[in-house]
Structure 1
């Protein structure tokens, strides 16, 4: 049986008085990739922001292993082993590729169970980052910027990696390349993936959670999701 690494248990989150997450629960198991799906506005990115501490839930629990994350500051959540690749990449455009990676590097010991990532490890996964390490990040292509955003998150030595819409705005060939990299990466690290590209999500997912208006409408394995996909399609807004 897979061991739960990241556990989100009945969280409720609000923007002001607007209730946006309603008793949302999910589990990312060790060595598996969970795809968090739903149409635009379903609450996927909000769920990510709740996990990393940008939008602390008003109730519920978030844990990595046995450690409670609810109420912790984002920097503490990162230190405890949660890496985050935000939607839109948000690399440091005026820094070089080398500097973007080094600024995220953790000098202290990684959290229990986490791998210590070096710049060389990241460059082995993304060779183009080695070729362009002296280049200003803002001058990279969209695909290269996404590689850098993933590499920067890996430099924090995460136990679980959160990726928010990594294929957004990328050419199909680059999406395929990114998918191949993530397929290899999930052998080393557990991943929570938010993705509108259903084909990419199904290629990578072991487990699926589907949100609609901030509520879980499906949770199960990829195979179970695919069996029920015709009836669940109305919650997706993608084809």
Structure 2
């Protein structure tokens, strides 16, 4: 009888220990579940508050055959690429083909055209030895002299030359100047757009963007940014 009694006492204590451990374990599980859902909610809120691509793609943008034919002059693009580009005040008549195209681009987005003082334009001819890494568009001189970050209202890129290349996708992520785009890039949250001939892409140039590796050939592009105020470099 004594042995049985001891055995029952031991079993009772063991059950009590199990009960005492169960409650903290349950609380830990509840806290973990709540933390998971809180994290997911914060993640959704953070994504919702990010700057957005606001991307518009227009294929067969230029319909004027004379302009398209003129744009097939490689020398024209090379001269633009060799220069630093230019600034076009929208209240002045265009003085070259790049300013004519700039006017045509932004008049399809009147909300940006009306709120801009003018438009900054330049050309890029890229290849495997001359890439375009991740960056944001900004007033470079203002940042250098006053450490102040000023962005264009919106950016655009137009592919008006019948280029032949492999790779060279326009890439953007929903991350601004004060965000680290590395995680978004690693997670694959990258918007990729092919640089098709006669395609216009309007996008938020204050977000991180770049061009994927060009494996073969050359990639021609005209970039045009809409600015509320003329950048200090002009």
Q: Quickly name the TM-score band, shorter chain normalised.
A: under 0.3
TM-score of the superposed pair, with normalisation by structure 2: 0.26
Higher strand share: 1
Larger radius of gyration: 2
